[in-house]
Structure 1
């Protein structure tokens, strides 16, 4: 008999779980306006998403938590892109439902220079239509390996966001969206940076034509 891990690590099973959430049909996509939210950072300071995207291109990375090895690898890859983000005047915010304390531990353990936000109330995950309730098989598996998601997230819920990456422009318009049903696959930072480069170039040319 397959264990819960092997069953849900299989592509077909992962596809079935993702399809059951309905997220593929309802999640925010390129061309949609981004929903706003105010979320605490690792120190408890409130951060409004719209304040950040008005400064320049905003990259939002929704991740499941510091306990997720695939998420950690993704965030470490972004950590290595700090200079390119700065060059483009872009900001990266990493959002998970972890409590601020757990988010702080994730950032400190990995020496991240970007801001991690806590979405324990699922305001952003619900706004982007990424949140879903884990099926009983996954609840049993995570419970068996000691990953107590309701405690880590401080909300008593077995709810997670589907990993996703967004680029939002200064007007709050989503210019890039990557929602991945296979948790092992994430948007490549290089692909995202090229989107931002095109966005910055277009804005610059528009400014020159309007001057």
Structure 2
């Protein structure tokens, strides 16, 4: 018997089988799934796909489903209770929740809000802001020069009702809402991190879409 010839023939046959078998096996392999974190996947979407009520930010189901602005009580710089709904009792309102006077991102945002305040008011809207600490309104006014009303929510009741609680730090997440005169939330943006804020042109555009008078 020609053992050497038979052995070489067997090797050649095995090689042929491997050539045809490996591609077939590769075709049966499960494709790699998209393992990118949710925020990275959202970043690849268009703004309208990522967050229907304002580009970017957080769109948690509980907050996104909230159609009417919660009726809550906050306190002013003097510690007096104020119904937040007064802000939109006579017309639309922009309601901003912010982290605190010590937050550089918040002070920068307030500078931009103050610069656009005449434009916001020309659209018949009020602008108010809310943070957690009782002493924050006075300190933020001093540091930012804001001339619009600032309120505090030391019990976090309003912050929780609006679904903007930063539970790790027991303060508010940065968030911006536009409310119409009926109390309906027509624009919502909750920052994904401490530096995330909406483009103010989006906020003004939401106001422009509301009926006048």
Specify if TM > 0.5. yes
Distance across 2 between alignment mates of 1:38 and 1:175: 21
Which position in structure 2 is the counterpart of 1:85?
120
Distance across 2 between alignment mates of 1:42 and 1:57: 23
Which position in structure 2 is the counterpart of 1:111?
145
When the two chains are superposed, the root-mean-square deviation of aligned CA atoms in Å is 2.1
* Equivalent residue for 1:125, pick from 159, 167, 171: 159
Superposition deviation, residue 24 in structure 1: 4.3
Which position in structure 1 is the counterpart of 2:175?
164
Aligned pairs for 1:36-185 within 5 A: 36-99=71-134, 101-134=135-168, 158-185=169-196
Cα gap change, 1:125/1:94 in structure 2, threshold over 3 Å: closer, same or farther? same
The alignment partner of 1:95 has SS state of strand
Structure 2, unmatched stretches of 5+, are 1-36, 41-57
If the length of structure 2 is used for normalisation, what is the TM-score?
A: 0.68
Distance across 2 between alignment mates of 1:55 and 1:120: 27
Distance across 2 between alignment mates of 1:172 and 1:90: 13
Which position in structure 2 is the counterpart of 1:140?
none
Superposition deviation, residue 53 in structure 1: 0.9
The alignment partner of 1:28 has SS state of helix
Please say which structure displays the higher CA radius of gyration. 2
Distance across 2 between alignment mates of 1:26 and 1:43: 35
If the length of structure 1 is used for normalisation, what is the TM-score?
A: 0.69
As a proportion of its length, which structure holds more helix?
Answer: 1
Aligned residue pairs total: 159
Runs of 4+ residues over 3 Å off in structure 1? none
- 1:31·1:175 contact (CA, 8 Å) conserved in 2? no
- 2:68·2:183 contact (CA, 8 Å) conserved in 1? yes
